[in-house]
Structure 1
Amino acid sequence: MSRSLSLNMRSASRRDLPPPQKTIERFEKMVEGGSYYEAQQMFKSTSARYITCQRYSEGLDILQSGATVQLKHGQVTCGAELAVLFVDTLVKGQFPYNEQTFDRVRKIYEAFPRINMPHFLGDDYDDDGQKLSEAISAAKVRSEGCSSFLRAALRWSAEFGTSRNGSPDLHVMLGEYIYSESPETDMTKVASHFVRGNDPKKFASMLVNFMGKCYPGEDDTAIARGVLMYLSLGNLRDANLLMDGMKEQLKSADLEFPKTNLIEFIKYLLQTLERDAYTLFRTLRQKYRTSTDRDTVFEELLDEIAAKFYGVRQQNPLEGLFGEMFKV
């Protein structure tokens, strides 16, 4: 087959594909009628035809519709798969990260079901092991599905946006969803997304909420971890905003900020980093080492803080846990 004939056939095929709206409406009715798997296959195969013909915008319309309607009907596995394909199409079509494309990702994100899992399970679950098992399984499916979608979106935003770490808004979304939906909340992972986000006030609200649910002694560790992560990125401003936001919200709720040696260290550290005082920084680390030894990652974060603020870099600052936590 000659190259010109092949191009003519592709052009004809591009013209033969109809506007997708009626097709979308038909597939949505299939979902509403309970034919979830059949509709899933139709959304996938039909969008692939448009994408093959490089009609990416129409392929995106089909995939966004499919993801949203499946998620709204509680079909998380089907919806998450279509959501990831939506992001793959953004990459194939080389769509830039901007307000319009972010809004489309946000609408899919908002369609993911939210049925909060309690961090501590109450009496309602004690007599029904099956109910507990089902709740945990459903929470894992929701968390893993949404996380896969948002991680893909972060990679796309890093490639086609202005932030090499991915969109700050998407990081906040992912941190928020992991916190609210994961049956076993990994606060290190949650914090690693919030500190690359743009909403320290929301991060403060989440930590205040966590203080009311966590075991004794976990609250100051979570606060210190968030502050140190901000500082390891050289972000003194948001580290201070996080602390100020927590103080303000706790005061409004007539609650007290934790009073521990670790929190005392964090307060002194924030003051020290306002000036050129590396000797004082070293003295603080030595004096409060017993407190900072409570979390294995704190020493690595403090090494990176020394590099960012005082130019003192350790031999391998990004090895170990610190490097892992900041991977998209």
Structure 2
Amino acid sequence: MFRERVRRVIQPPAQENIDKLEKFVKEGNYYGAQQMYKSTSARYASAERYSDALNVLQSGACLQLDKAQITCGAELSLLFAETLAKSKVPYDEDTLDRVKKIFKKFPRLSVPQHLELADDDDLQKLSEAIAAAKTRVEGCSSFLKAAIKWSAEFGAHRYGSPELHDMLADYMYSESPEVDIGKVSFHFVRGKNPKKFASALVNFMGKCYPGEDDLAIVRAILMYLSMGNLRDANKLMDEVKMEVELKNLNFPSSELTQYVNYLLLTLQRDALPLFNMLRQTYKSSIDRESMFNELLDDIAEKFYGVRRRNPLEGIGDFFKMMGGD
């Protein structure tokens, strides 16, 4: 116990270590600095000097990312978010701003276009760019998912901070070399920016496989509705239609989009028989994606109080998606 007290006393002020480690980074000793950032912050945390630990980790994450040391920066970013939870820091705007400052340091770089893929050098460049993009997205995603988990536990919305969900959705969509629109949608519907979500969907329509465009739109609408959010579901549909018109594109016309238009109208009133009739009428279209029936079960429960046959169904989906599975 006495030794522990001594260790706590002799820990220098955080700024002293921050200045020393900044010098290491500027000299190009990234690996050495990384180990010291981790060990120094761990010592502060073990002494319950969490504020100092967070200051060291934030400084290190930002510096490493500034120097394009993505793996190092992402690791320190993740430790920062995990330390927020470990130290039970309440969710507030000041702490959210600290998370945002780190997030803004993650680079946004486009994958090279118009390369001659028959050329070995160009093929190598493309391969390296894709690998680097995946590293950036994975690192940023791990950091923001940990921050979302902290925010959900310590004061934000039960799904986590909407701002953090929007940040993650936007980064995943804009930076992923291979976009998983389902995972992107998962975070956008927990955010508060249907307009940006609509822009992402319309952009996705221009590069997805034939027949995927209506699925993406309907999936997004049903996700909103499964959370009881009829307002943003309607807003998203309106925004998508407006953006499609502005860009002189064709809104995907299919039985599935027809169904979801009817569904949005039906949910505005107490009309469970009509809800069930529409679901049966458009069953073949709904069955195009297995998750649609699960979402519709959630919608029936949210809007009409219809209990799921198995109340455990659907539980864990949030954490499964957050884990990236």
Normalised by the size of structure 1, how large is the TM-score? 0.90
- Equivalent residue in structure 2 for 1:294, among 274, 283, 288: 288
Confirm or deny that 1:158 pairs with 2:152: yes
Distance change (3 Å), C-alpha of 1:270 and 1:117: farther
Letter in 1 for 2:37: F
Indicate if the aligned counterparts of 2:111 and 2:126 stay in contact, CA closer than 8 A. Answer: no
Q: Alpha-carbon deviations, 1:195-244, whole Å to 9, x = none?
A: 11111111111111111221222111100000000001111011011111
Q: What residue identity is the alignment partner of 1:324?
A: D
Equivalent residues of 2:77, 2:102 under 8 A apart: yes
Output the CA distance in 2 between the equivalents of 1:176 and 1:285: 32
2:169 is equivalent to residue 175 of structure 1 = yes
Q: Which shows bigger deviation, 133-142 or 271-280?
A: 133-142
1:268 equivalent to 2:262? Answer: yes
Report how far residue 125 of structure 1 moved. Answer: 4.1
**2:151–2:160 contact (8 Å) kept in structure 1:** yes
Q: Which amino acid aligns with 2:136?
A: R
Give 2:273's aligned residue.
279
- Equivalence for 1:324: 317
Unaligned runs of 5+ in 1: none
**Residues 118-159 of structure 1, C-alpha deviations (whole Å, 9 max, x = no match):** 8xx754445333222212211221111111111111111111
**RMSD (CA atoms):** 2.0
Q: 2:38 aligned with 1:41, yes or no?
A: no
Find runs of 4+ consecutive structure 1 residues off by over 6 angstroms: none
Amino acid at match of 1:284: L
The 5 Å alignment of 1:82-231 reads 82-117=76-111, 123-127=115-119, 128-231=122-225
Q: Which runs of 5+ in 2 are unaligned?
A: none
Tell me the secondary structure at the aligned position of residue 24 of structure 1. Answer: helix
Residue 307 of structure 1 and its aligned partner are, at CA, apart by 1.4
**Secondary structure in structure 1 of the residue aligned to 2:207:** coil
CA separation of 1:92/1:325 partners in 2, compared to 1, >3 Å: closer, same or farther? closer
More displaced stretch, 218-227 vs 130-139: 130-139
Q: How does 1:246-257 map to 2 (within 5 A)?
A: 246-257=240-251
Match of residue 238, structure 1, among 218, 232, 244: 232
Cα displacement (A) at 1:289: 1.8
Q: Equivalents in 2 of 1:309, 1:126: separation in Å?
A: 55
Q: Which moved more, 1:231-240 or 1:41-50?
A: 41-50
Q: Once the 2 structures are TM-superposed, how far is the Cα of residue 317 of structure 1 from its aligned partner?
A: 5.7
How many residue pairs get aligned? The number is 319
Give deviations 1:16-39, integer Å, cap 9, x for gaps: 333222432332232222211011
Q: Identify if the C-alpha distance between structure 1 residues 126 and 155 changes in structure 2 by more than 3 Å, giving closer, same or farther.
A: farther
- In the alignment, residue 290 of structure 2 is paired with which amino acid? T
CA contact (8 A) 1:234 1:308 kept: yes
Give percent identity, aligned residues only. 60
Q: Which letter does structure 2 place at the counterpart of 1:302?
A: L
